[in-house]
A and B are shown apart, each in its own frame.
Chain A
Amino acid sequence: MEILKVKNLSVSYGKKIAIKNVNFTLKEKEILGFIGADGAGKSSTLHAIAGVVSFKGEVVYKGYAYHSPKEAEKIKNEISLMPQGLGLVLYDFLSVGEHFDFFRDLRGLKKDEEYETRLLKMAGLYEFQDRLAGNLSGGMRQKLSLILALLPRPKLLILDEPTTGVDPISRAELWDIVNEMREEGMSALISTAYMSEASKMDRLMLFDEGEVIAKGTAQELIEKIKDYTYEGEIESNECFSFNKRTYCLNPLPLKKAIPTLEGVFFVNALKKGKKPILIEVPKKNIDVPEIIVKAKCLTKKFGEFIADNCVDLELKKGEILGLLGANGAGKTTLIKMLLGLYPIDEGELYLLGKRIKSYEDRIELKSKIGYVSQKFALYKDLTIKENLEYFAKMHSLTPKETKEKIEKYSKMFGFEEYLNSFPKEVPLGINQRFSLAAALLHEPVVLFLDEPTSGVDTVARSAFWKLLRKLKENMGISILITTHYMSEAEYCDRVVVLKRGVKIVDDEVKNLHQKYPGLDFEEIFLKIYKENQ
């Protein structure tokens, strides 16, 4: 049975068109996935259907047609929307139980003890009903947001990127909850940035720059690009290469490969006439010892809570080390200790063979490290050029050096034309590359990247990884990176996996593949986590 029909839906904010002419239908018990990068129009479409933004076109829900948020009021008790952002709907100073009371009253619902207990148990929050939302980990917050959205027993659940920034474990749990509710007759619209989740959807819509570029089941979509997919990765300005595959419109003398969904975006970009940017990183030898960073039994406590429990870590010259783990596993705390942002409670830290102990040592440490933080935190009121100038000056570069470096990196990373724009005005992929440039201005020997690819579209991510590998190969820079995209772990030389502040794996990626043959990295990761209960 068809429960939702969307006809020619368009949303625009002022002159900016967010999404144009979307058409689709949704059946009962069906999960329709919206896939695409930030700003592709997924959120606008979801919000329009939920009746929270005005739109053009028509939405028909179970025979009731609406054209504006006002008309949508009537059906709002059957639709539940969970907006984007980790635990954005939560109040830090309310406990889990109080959230239930509050949302129940807000929605004017009667207390249904049995149903609420079931929701809490599904989310694994039954034992934590007295805990304040502010003290929950990212994954738990997201699960709480989800069960709160399920509280009014919606017939149609709308989830806007519920899994972005959530670790693979919590992601799997979120999906379990959605699937269980679906069995009881609920339909869902879910947007995601993770291609690996596409297989969990019944049908998919791919969004790109305010348009739906493809519709169908994952299998159908993959089928369409079969002819353009080849094995291996090559250097070419005609083709995109990512994750052991090359996508090209022109025939290549290579073996054909089974495409992944990510390929649809590359093929679409190629069809639009887009070319990969070629990044040339000049060869340079830096004279550093074989071991750049060495951490011995680093421990950090926050009161009773042990964020990191005696973690050893070694970063070798010219190595990409992936730091993986669930939300709250201690990754960020570890990075902050390595960066000199947190004092170390116990353990020893060596940089380039020198022990980092005093405040002065830490200042010296800072001048040798490049750091790109989550969401590329840069100054939004300064243009890209002014941002770079500021960082250069803070690192005591002369004006001449600054000018040369900005010229060099903007050319190398391909953001020359955006130098006088504000960070807000440019695509996320550009922001990503220019914050990397900002981190490289002072020629650090090591780069720390904290989820640098979150929310960035597939094409830009592939360019970014290519860039990282070139930096490693040609400049000998060591890189420590955290990510929730398990497919990206394939690009690391070695991975360290943390669980509840303890290191459970420290091994080369190829060794892990040998140990768990035939699995992709996401599966390996989930397996490792389960083995270390």
Chain B
Amino acid sequence: MSAILKKEFLVFFRNVGLVIFVLYAFTMDIYIAGKGIKVTPRHVSIGYVNEGDIAVVNKIISHFHSPQFKKPKLFLNEKSLKEAIYNRKIMVGIVFNKEFVNNLLSGKTAKLQVLIDSTAAAQAEVTLIYIQNILLKFEHHLKTPASIDIIKLFNPNANTKWFMSLSELMSDITMLGLILIAVVFVREKENGTWDIMLLMPVKGSLIIFAKILSQVLILMAGITIAVGLIVFGAFNTPINGNIFNFYLISFLFSFAIGGIALVIAAISKTILEVAHLTIVIMLPLIFLSGAWTPLSAMSPFIQFLSYFSPLRYYIQATQDIFFRGSGFMDLLPYFGAEFLIAVILFYIGYRKIGRLF
């Protein structure tokens, strides 16, 4: 057992390319995902037409500031504003026409015209929410003297970094788990050492288990680096629950993934085939997990399918551990489900590769 572990570690660390790739996936990749994927408005160009010329307008406009918005630009009339939007010089246009000003002053429902270029749909959508918030604030301000603070239940600006980096980490663990575990077996096939491996007077089950364990340990080390350096280090993500629960669920998840990897290893002859199969299997796993799209937004059938994805429980448990601070007892359903899936997948994979032993 220790002989196999030592051998697999040596083989892993001597493959400099692979080590660099794994390190990249566990650090830079997560960092870039956290930093880069933003659905909050950033430097949105804004233009406005002011036909009423009252102080309120300037006050409203003054709320559109950096870093979300560029300095708002004043246009002479609606036509020139529309042209600017058409030419992509301006993304959002707000028209304060005479009717709006009159209604505003007389206390009637004031209708504001907002023109928005929604090519970048998500960005536009969120920008709209921003504008609504700003205007809402003023509506209340004008009618009642007491200022009402709008409590933001969901603050996208602060949360995406945490959410995205964790989602990316889960996806990376899925991908690397599949590849690393399948490759320890397929490498033996590719190098022609498979028979030599089988000739060791050791039970096949022990070889399979030791090989998987070696890669699971590498994954755990990678997770530690990712969580320590990027999640806690660079992004300062708070953890409200117990980190050991996170390790436990990661460990269970690795074995569930290991089961799938064994199936891949059993049917692939070359490392290239492993790469192909990994992508084909990984994408549905990630789509069905709620990593990128909330499960509640999916069709009931897809939601049903997601119950079979080991990644679903992993992600939900992880988010609960980090953000909600759930304790072990609260997490028990996730642990249970993950364990069950791990056992089933591992059994299938073990049977499949076991036939080659």
CA–CA, A13 to B192, complex, Å?
26
**Given A390-B6, A393-B2, are A363 and B201 neighbors across the interface (CB < 8 Å)?**
yes
- The minimal Cβ–Cβ distance linking B353 to chain A, given in whole angstroms, is 15
CB distance from B205 to the nearest CB of A (A): 11
Q: Across the interface, do B3 and A390 meet the contact criterion of CB distance under 8 Å?
A: yes
Tell me if A336 is interfacial: C-beta within 8 Å of chain B. Answer: yes
Q: Knowing A341-B199, A366-B201, A394-B200 touch, does A379 contact B192 (C-beta < 8 A)? A: no
Q: Contacts A379-B7, A386-B10 hold; do A371 and B192 have CB atoms under 8 A apart? A: no
B202 at the interface (CB under 8 A from A): yes
Q: Are A379 and B200 in contact (CB under 8 A)?
A: no
Residues of A within 8 A of B6 (CB): 390, 393
Closest B residue, CB atoms, query A396: B201
The residues of B that contact A367 with a CB separation of less than 8 Å are 201
Mask of A471-483 contacts with B, CB within 8 angstroms, 1/0: 0000000000000
A371 touches B199 (CB 8 A): yes
- In the bound complex, do residue A373 and residue B7 qualify as a contact, i.e. CB atoms below 8 Å apart? no
B residues within 8 A CB of A442?
201
Residue B126 at the chain A interface, CB threshold 8 Å: no
Distance, CA A533 to CA B126, complexed state (A): 82
User: Count of chain A residues with Cβ under 8 Å from any Cβ of B?
Assistant: 27
A375 (CB) vs chain B CBs: closest residue: B192
* B199 pairs with A377, CB closer than 8 A: no
> Of residues 333 to 379 in A, which have CB atoms within 8 Å of B's CB atoms?
336, 339-341, 363-364, 366-367, 369, 371, 373-375, 377-379
Interface string of A71-109 (1 = CB under 8 A from B): 000000000000000000000000000000000000000
Q: How far is the CA of A59 from the CA of B328 in the complex (A)?
A: 76
A367 nearest in chain B by CB position: B201
Cβ of B195: which chain A residues have Cβ within 8 Å of it?
336, 339, 341, 371, 373, 377
- Asked if A382 CB lies within 8 Å of chain B CBs, one says yes
A371/B3 contact (C-beta < 8 A), A363-B203, A381-B11 known: no
Q: Is B191 in the interface zone, CB < 8 Å from A? A: yes
**A366-B201, A379-B191, A394-B202 known; A371 vs B196 contact (CB < 8 Å):** yes
Q: Smallest CB-CB separation from A380: which chain B residue?
A: B191
Number of contacting residues on B, CB 8 A? 20
Complex partner residue of A377 from B11, B14, B193, B201, CB under 8 angstroms: B193
B62: interface (CB < 8 Å) = no
**Minimum CB–CB distance for B98 against chain A, Å:** 74
The answer, yes or no, to whether A200 is at the interface (CB within 8 Å) is no
Residue of A336, A364, A380, A381 near B201 (CB, 8 A) is A364
Q: A369 — which chain B residues lie within 8 A by C-beta?
A: 199
Q: Main secondary structure on chain B at its contact with chain A? A: helix
Q: Which residues of B contact A373 (CB under 8 A)?
A: 192, 195-196
Of chain A, the residue at the smallest CB distance from B201 is A367
Whether the pair B196, A381 counts as a contact (CB closer than 8 A) is no
**Is A395 interfacial (CB-CB < 8 Å)?**
yes
Chain A nearest CB: distance from B241 CB in Å? 39
In Å, the complex CA distance between A371 and B14 comes to 26
Q: Does B155 contact A (CB under 8 A)?
A: no
Residues of B within 8 A of A341 (CB): 195, 198-199
The interface residues of chain A lying within 8 Å CB-to-CB of B106 are: none
The answer for the CA separation of A442 and B202 in the assembled complex, in Å, is 13
B144 contacts the other chain (CB 8 A): no
B299 touches A (CB below 8 Å): no
* B193: chain A residues within 8 A (beta carbon): 377-379
In chain B, positions 188-242 with a C-beta closer than 8 Å to chain A are 191-193, 195-196, 198-203
A393 to B7, CA, bound (A): 11
Q: Which residue in A364, A377, A395 is a CB contact (below 8 Å) of B196?
A: A377
Tell me whether B201 and A395 are in contact (CB under 8 A).
Answer: yes
**Bound CA–CA A374/B191 (angstroms):** 11
Asked if B15 is an interface residue, CB under 8 A from chain A, the answer is: yes
Instruction: Give the chain B neighbours of A395 by CB distance below 8 A.
Output: 200-201
A336: B residues at CB distance < 8 A: 195
Q: State in angstroms the CA–CA spacing of A508 and B17 once bound together.
A: 53
The listed residue (A366, A371, A377, A381) touching B10 by CB distance below 8 A is A381
- CB-CB under 8 A from A393, the residues of chain B are 2-3, 6
Q: Are B10 and A382 in contact (CB under 8 A)?
A: yes
State in angstroms the CA–CA spacing of A377 and B198 once bound together.
13
Contact residue among A340, A374, A386, A394 (Cβ-Cβ distance under 8 Å from B192): A374
Kindly list chain B residues whose C-beta atoms are within 8 Å of the C-beta of A377. 191-193, 195-196
Does the CB pair A390–B199 fall under 8 Å?
Answer: no
**Contact between chains at A381 and B14 (CB < 8 Å):** yes
Closest to A386 in B: B10
A-chain residues with CB within 8 Å of residue B200 when the two chains form the complex? 366, 391, 394-395
Closest to A377 in B: B192
> What's the Cα separation between A227 and B200 when bound, in Å?
50
Instruction: Give complex CA distance A382, B6 in Å.
Output: 10
Q: Nearest CB to that of B202 among chain A residues?
A: A394
Q: Which residues of B contact A381 (CB under 8 A)?
A: 10-11, 14-15
> Which residues of the partner chain A approach B202 to less than 8 Å between Cβ atoms?
363, 394
B201 near A378 with CB under 8 A, answer no
A386 to B3, CA, bound (A): 10
A394 to B193 CA separation, bound complex (whole angstroms): 14
User: Least Cβ distance of B25 to chain A in Å?
Assistant: 21
Q: Give complex CA distance A32, B200 in Å.
A: 46
Cα–Cα, bound, A126→B201 (Å): 46
Docked CA distance A393–B1 (Å): 9
What mask results when residues 148 to 190 of chain B are scored 1 for a CB within 8 Å of chain A, else 0? 0000000000000000000000000000000000000000000
Residues on A with C-beta less than 8 A from B196 are 371, 373, 377-378
- Bound together, the chains give a CA A371 to CA B193 distance in angstroms of 12
**Interface residues as binary, A315-342 with B (CB distance below 8 Å gives 1, 0 otherwise):** 0000000000000000000001001110
What 19 additional pairs, Cβ within 8 angstroms, besides A341-B198, A395-B201? A336-B195, A339-B199, A340-B199, A366-B200, A366-B201, A369-B199, A371-B195, A371-B199, A373-B196, A377-B191, A377-B193, A378-B193, A378-B196, A379-B11, A380-B191, A381-B15, A382-B7, A390-B6, A442-B201
- 17 sample A-B contacts, Cβ–Cβ < 8 Å, listed by A number: A336-B195, A363-B201, A363-B203, A366-B200, A371-B199, A374-B192, A375-B192, A377-B192, A378-B193, A379-B191, A380-B191, A381-B10, A382-B14, A390-B7, A393-B2, A393-B6, A442-B201
Chain A residues within 8 Å of B, Cβ to Cβ: 336, 339-341, 363-364, 366-367, 369, 371, 373-375, 377-382, 386, 389-391, 393-395, 442
Closest 9 CB pairs of A and B: A393-B3, A367-B201, A377-B192, A394-B200, A381-B14, A381-B11, A366-B201, A377-B193, A390-B7
